[in-house]
C-alpha cells in the first residue's frame, strides 16, 4: 500500500511539474519589446498579468528586440526553442522588413521557416500581422499584408491580420515618433491578439 501511495504521489508531482513548466515565447521587435515604455507597461507584460489572473500555468518569455527583422528572429529562434521549450510561440516580426523595403519574398521565407521550426519543436504558433504607413504605396502595402496571410494559410497557424488595429495611425495611441504605440495603447494590443491566443492555451 505504501509503495502504491508513493508511486501515486510521484506521478501527481510529475504532472504538477509538467503543468507548471508551460512556456509562452514572444519573438518580436520594438512593438513587443515596448520601446519607449516602462517594461511593465508593454502588452507582453499585460499578457503575463492576465494569464496569472486567470490562473493559467504559463510563464511568458519576451525575446523581442527593438529593430529586429524576420531574418534576425529566424537566426535567434533555434536557441530560444531549445532553451525555453515553449508550448506556444507568438511571432511579431516583419514590420522592420517592410519599413526598410527589404524583399518581401525573403520575409515570407523567414517567417515560414520560423513557423515550421516552432511547429517541429511541438509548439503552437500565433502570427501577428502588420501593415505599413500609406506613404509606402498601395501596391507594396497590399503585398506586404498578404505575406502574413500566405504564411498563416500555408502553415495552418492562427493569424491576427493587423496587430495594431485601432492603434496605428491614431494620434493619441502613438508615441511622438508615430511608429511605436504609447502606453495607453498597450491594452488594446493585448485585446487585439487575445481572441486568437486564448483557444491555444
- For residue 16, being part of any structural domain is answered with no
- For residue 3, being part of any structural domain is answered with no
- For residue 9, being part of any structural domain is answered with no
pLDDT of residue 2: 57
Following DSSP, what letter does each residue of 13-54 receive, concatenated?
A: HHHHHHHHT-EEEEEESHHHHTTTS-GGGSHHHHHHHHHHHT
- For residue 173, being part of any structural domain is answered with yes
172 lies in which domain range?
Answer: 22-200
Name the pTM for this structure.
0.90
Question: What is the rounded CA–CA span in Å between residue 175 and residue 45?
Answer: 18
Q: Encode the chain (201 residues) as per-residue pLDDT tens digits.
A: 555 554 555 555 544 444 456 999 999 999 999 999 998 999 999 999 999 999 999 999 999 999 999 999 999 999 999 999 999 999 999 999 999 999 999 999 999 999 999 999 999 999 999 999 998 999 999 999 999 999 999 999 999 999 999 999 998 999 999 999 999 999 999 999 999 999 999
Active-site residue list:
30, 177, 180
- For residue 90, being part of any structural domain is answered with yes
Q: What is the DSSP letter of 132?
A: -
CATH number at 78 reads: 3.40.50.1110
Question: What is the rounded CA–CA span in Å between residue 163 and residue 131?
Answer: 8
pLDDT of residue 198: 97
Question: What is the rounded CA–CA span in Å between residue 144 and residue 132?
Answer: 8
Q: In angstroms, what CA-CA distances link 19 with 15, 44, 87?
A: 6, 21, 11
- For residue 17, being part of any structural domain is answered with no
Contact (Cβ atoms closer than 8 angstroms) between residue 2 and residue 41: no
Question: What is the rounded CA–CA span in Å between residue 14 and residue 157?
Answer: 30
pLDDT of residue 101: 94
- For residue 121, being part of any structural domain is answered with yes
Q: How far apart are the first and last CA of the chain?
A: 37
Number of domains in the chain: 1
Amino acid at each position: 500500500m505504501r509503495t502504491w501511495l508513493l508511486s501515486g504521489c510521484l506521478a501527481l508531482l510529475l504532472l504538477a511539474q509538467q503543468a507548471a513548466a508551460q512556456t509562452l515565447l514572444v519573438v518580436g521587435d520594438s512593438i513587443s519589446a515596448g520601446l519607449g515604455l516602462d517594461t511593465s507597461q508593454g502588452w507582453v507584460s499585460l499578457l503575463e498579468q492576465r494569464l496569472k489572473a486567470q490562473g493559467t500555468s504559463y510563464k511568458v518569455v519576451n525575446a523581442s528586440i527593438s529593430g529586429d527583422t524576420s531574418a534576425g528572429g529566424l537566426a535567434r529562434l533555434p536557441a530560444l526553442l531549445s532553451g525555453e521549450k515553449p508550448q506556444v510561440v507568438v511571432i511579431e516580426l516583419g514590420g522592420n522588413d517592410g519599413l526598410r523595403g527589404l524583399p518581401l519574398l525573403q520575409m515570407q521565407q523567414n517567417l515560414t521557416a520560423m513557423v515550421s521550426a516552432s511547429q517541429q519543436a511541438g509548439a503552437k504558433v500565433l502570427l501577428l500581422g502588420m501593415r505599413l504607413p500609406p506613404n509606402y504605396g498601395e501596391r507594396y502595402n497590399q503585398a506586404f499584408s498578404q505575406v502574413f496571410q500566405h504564411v498563416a494559410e500555408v502553415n495552418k497557424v492562427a493569424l491576427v491580420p493587423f496587430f495594431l488595429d485601432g492603434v496605428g495611425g491614431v494620434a493619441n495611441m502613438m508615441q511622438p515618433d508615430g511608429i511605436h504605440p504609447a502606453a495607453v495603447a498597450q491594452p488594446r494590443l493585448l485585446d487585439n491578439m487575445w481572441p486568437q491566443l486564448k483557444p491555444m492555451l
